[in-house]
Amino acid sequence: MNKKLRYIAMTFVSIILVCCYMVRISYVNKDNAKAEVKYVSDSKSVQAGNLKIEVAEQKLYDVAEYVKEYPEIRDLYTYKGSYYEKFDGGNDVLRSYKKIFFIVLKVTNTGDKTEEIPYFEYKLYVDKNYAFDFYPTEVEYINKASGIGVKSQCSYKVKLVYQISDRVFDKDIYKNLQNMDNSIMVSGYPVMKNIKLSHTEYVKADDDAKLIYEDLVKNDTEEVSLPDTKENTILKQDEPYVKNGIKVYAESCEIYRKKFSGYKELGEDVDGGMFNKACIGKDDKIIWSDRYGNKKADFSIVVVNFTFVNDTKRDRTIYFYPFLHNYIGKRYNEYYFMSMDKKIKHKKNSSSYTVGAGSEVNVKSIFYLAENHSNKHLIGLTGVEGNATQWKLYISLADADSENYNLEKGQAAGGIFMRVR
């Protein structure tokens, strides 16, 4: 995406974030005018097709207490390095979500076959006329699933999270949200069925929670040792990538085409998963795996060793999600695995890593590559007998215009690339 289009897109998204709640209010007024609404007590259930739905839990959290109780979603409420940091007023928008409605629905399948739970359609109504949708990524984190099916005659408890901005309501109403005329819609047109939320527990933040939350959302202006690496940059092999005061060095790049025994030293990665050995056969031989579907491909494994250096006076966090590229700019890693020393703080199910003040940590990225070893022009790993330029490997650290970048010609096309070999 070129700079002009990127600026226009960012401006457009900023407007959406600031105005989204007014749009929701407008839509719900239209919906209510068209549909018949049937309200059910939260002590009873609603039958929607083959699904029986009832409210199992209803809470209104101070956001600080919520992020304390559910640390797996803290990445979504962190300002530094986040989407909110990219536009003016983003910190204020993030801080405006002071209240969180947390609803648990018990869904029972009364039919004779597996049913998907259409929880993405469930809307929260506050003070009867204000409708809220949830942030899909957050609900996926909380439920540890992106789609939920229930077997016949079985039940499942779905957690739903709704961010409530203080920009929507008057102060007096906002302070008393749990006592408003609230409900959750669990069945749509032609008859909307809403379960009343008449027994919502208010969960107030304690001092520890407030400290945790403030550390996440603060807009820290402390000077760092080096400015961030700019977009449209191709870093040389000994040049560090810099982001938020952390310097990243590529220390080494190792290529394995026949055997790979290094996985034995890896153990679990930072999210608790084991290294995928689908491409490792007997005697540690690298083999083709039907996971990738191309039987004509051979496999190689590339290991890149990084050092993260934080020479500032406080802990700092970096977003790090590398992809491997060859010298003409073709991205080709099929899968990668991150392994790092235990000193680094990692937010589970995210690509954010925190390095302690004045310290450095080691990070290892292992890439699976599908290639044809006999074709010297497919990628940059075609053997020592090939042209030397074919050994030039890079990782990308910011999105580039995929149709216009060529690393051999020095064309970064808006991205950030680091040469690792």
Residue ranges, comma separated, of all CATH 2.60.40.1240 domains in the chain are 3-217
- Token pair for residue 337? 């695995």
Q: Is the pLDDT of residue 124 over 90?
A: yes
* Residue whose C-alpha is closest to residue 77's, from 98, 102, 60: 98
Average pLDDT over residues 163-178: 90
Mapped onto helix, strand or coil, the DSSP state of residue 167 is: coil
Instruction: Answer whether residue 122 shows pLDDT above 80.
Output: yes
* Contact partners, residue 253, CB within 8 Å, separation at least 6: 302, 303, 304, 305, 393, 420, 421
Contact assessment for residue 284 and residue 259, using Cβ atoms and an 8 Å cutoff: yes
> Of 301 and 53, which is predicted with more confidence?
53
**Which one is predicted more confidently, 34 or 381?**
34
Question: How would you classify the pairing of strands 416-419 and 233-235?
Answer: parallel
C-alpha separations of 99 from 72, 82, 119, 240, 309 in Å: 18, 20, 21, 41, 37
Share of the chain above pLDDT 90, in %: 26
- The DSSP code for 278 is T
Strand order in the sheet with 416-419: 233-235, 416-419, 393-398, 323-326
Find out whether 411 and 404 touch, Cβ atoms under 8 Å: yes
Q: Is the pLDDT of residue 270 over 80?
A: no
- CA 205, CA 202: separation in Å to the nearest integer? 10
Tokens encoding 34? 């068209």
11-69 pLDDT, tens digit each? 344 444 444 444 444 444 445 555 688 999 999 999 999 999 999 999 999 999 999 99
Order of strands, sheet of 298-310, starting from the edge strand that comes earlier in the sequence: 241-243, 246-256, 298-310, 359-371, 333-340
pLDDT average, residue stretch 213-229: 73
Residue-wise pLDDT for 6-27, tens only, equals 333 443 444 444 444 444 444 4
Instruction: Report CA torsion sign: 141, 145, 146, 147.
Output: negative
- What pLDDT is stored for residue 165 in this prediction? 92
Residue 132 has pLDDT above 90, yes or no: yes
Of residues 111 and 12, the one with the higher pLDDT is 111
Topology of domain 3-217, CATH: Immunoglobulin-like (2.60.40)
Residue 58 phi, psi (nearest 5): -145, 120
* Distance in Å from the first CA to the final CA of the chain: 27
pTM score, two decimals?
0.50
User: Do 115 and 49 contact (CB within 8 A), yes or no?
Assistant: yes
